[in-house]
Chain A
Amino acid sequence: MISALLQAGSMILFLSAVAGLGILLKGCYVLRRQARRSSHDFTSILLKSPQMPMVSVIAAPADSSPASRGFVRHLLELHCSRSEVVVVLNGPSEQDFQAWRDEFRLQSAALGVWESADLPALQVLRTESSSWSAAYHTGLAISSGSLIAMLDAESQFVPDILLRLALPLLADEETAAVCGTAPQFASNSLIEHFAGIEGLRLYLARCAAFAGWNMLLPVQGCCVLLRRDAVVRAGAFASPLELILQLHGQARRGGPPFRMALVPEPVSWIAPSASESGLRHLIVRDQQSLASVIRHRRQIAGGIGALGWGLPALFYWRMVRPLLESAVYVLALVAIVTGLAPLQVGVLALLCTVGAGILVSMAAVVLRELAEYQGSDPGRMTKLFLASIPENLGYRQMRNLWLLQGFFR
Chain B
Amino acid sequence: MIGTELSLVSVVLCGFGLWVLGMFGMSLLRALAWQKKYRATQAHLPAIRSALVDYLSGNEDRTRLREFIQESREAVAAAVMSFEGTVNGTARERLCDLALELALVHEWCQQTRSKNVMEQRAAYWRLAFVCAYEPCRRVAGDILLLALNDADEEVRLAAGNAIIYTGAVDDVERVFEHAIVQTQLNRIVLSEELRPFAVALCERAIPKVLKSGDAARIAGMLHMVVAWERAVPLPGIGQLLSAEDRRVRILALQAAPLAQDAPEVRKGILDALVDPDPEIVVGGAQAAGRLRLEAALPTLARLLRTGDADLARAAASALGKIPPRGLVALQELTSSTSSTAASAASEALTKAQGRV
Contacts and interface: CB of A to CB of B under 8 A. Distances in A.
A375 interface: yes
Contacts of A301: none
Given A36-B118, A171-B185, A375 B30 contact: yes
Interface string A45-65: 110111110000000000000
Contacts of A309: none
Contacts, number: 134
A120 B241 CA distance: 33
Given A113-B347, A375-B34, A42 B27 contact: no
Contact of A369 (B1, B31, B344): B31
Contacts of B17: 359
Nearest to B346: A110
Choose among B5, B117, B227, B343 the residue with the greatest number of A CB atoms under 10 Å from its CB.
B5
A394 to B, nearest CB: 20
A40 B158 contact: yes
Q: Which DSSP category, helix, strand, loop or mixed, fits chain A's interface?
A: helix
A351 B10 contact: yes
B276 interface: no
Nearest to A355: B13
A170 interface: yes
B35 interface: yes
Interface stretch (A190-198, A234-242, A340-348): A340-348
A39 B185 contact: no
B13 A170 contact: no
Interface in A334-392: 342, 344-345, 347-348, 351-352, 355-356, 359, 362-363, 365-367, 369-370, 373-378, 381-382, 385
Contacts of A373: 118
B339 A348 contact: no
Contacts of A11: 5
Contact of B183 (A46, A110, A172): A172
B343 A376 contact: no
A397 to B, nearest CB: 19
Interface in B1-33: 1-3, 5-6, 9-10, 12-13, 16-17, 20, 23-24, 27-28, 30-33
A50 B227 contact: yes
B309 interface: yes
A109 interface: yes
Interface stretch (B186-194, B201-209, B324-332): B186-194
Interface string B194-219: 00000000000000000000000000
A356 to B, nearest CB: 6
A39 B121 contact: yes
A172 B186 CA distance: 11
Contact of A167 (B10, B185, B226, B313): B185
Contacts of A363: 16, 20, 23
A21 B32 CA distance: 26
A170 B184 contact: yes
A1 interface: no
Nearest to A35: B118
A111 B122 contact: no
Nearest to A168: B185
A376 B31 CA distance: 6
Interface residues of B, number: 53
B2 A344 contact: yes
Contact of A39 (B1, B118, B192, B309): B118
B23 A45 contact: no
A378 B28 contact: yes
B229 interface: yes
A378 B31 contact: yes
B85 A44 contact: yes
B16 A359 contact: yes
A348 B6 contact: yes
A141 interface: yes
B16 A46 contact: no
A45 B5 contact: no
Given A170-B184, A342-B2, A111 B339 contact: yes
Q: Which of B31, B32, B189 has the most CB of A within 10 A?
A: B31
Contact of A345 (B2, B28, B30, B227): B2
Contact of B9 (A141, A348, A370): A348
A375 B10 contact: no
A132 to B, nearest CB: 22
B183 A171 contact: yes
B154 interface: yes
Interface string A85-111: 000000000000000000000000111
B223 interface: yes
B125 interface: yes
A7 interface: yes
A128 interface: no
A14 interface: yes
Given A359-B16, A373-B118, A110 B343 contact: yes
A351 B13 contact: yes
Given A36-B117, A366-B20, A375 B185 contact: no
Contacts of B28: 378, 381-382
Contact of B2 (A3, A352, A362, A365): A3
B72 interface: no
Interface in A22-40: 36, 38-40
A118 interface: no
Interface in B24-57: 24, 27-28, 30-35
Contact of B309 (A3, A115, A141, A347): A141
B350 interface: yes
Contacts of B12: 14, 18
Q: Which of B9, B20, B23, B153 has the most CB of A within 10 A?
A: B20
Contacts of A49: 188, 191-192, 227
Given A3-B2, A110-B346, A378-B35, A351 B154 contact: no
Contacts of B118: 36, 39, 373
B185 A111 contact: no
17 contacts: A36-B117, A49-B188, A51-B226, A52-B188, A110-B343, A110-B346, A111-B339, A170-B185, A342-B2, A348-B5, A348-B6, A351-B6, A351-B9, A356-B13, A359-B17, A373-B118, A381-B27
Given A113-B343, A171-B186, A366-B24, 18 more contacts: A7-B5, A36-B117, A42-B185, A51-B184, A109-B350, A110-B347, A115-B350, A171-B183, A171-B184, A173-B184, A345-B2, A351-B9, A356-B13, A359-B17, A362-B24, A367-B23, A369-B31, A375-B34
Closest 5 CB pairs of A and B: A375-B34, A375-B31, A170-B185, A378-B31, A369-B27
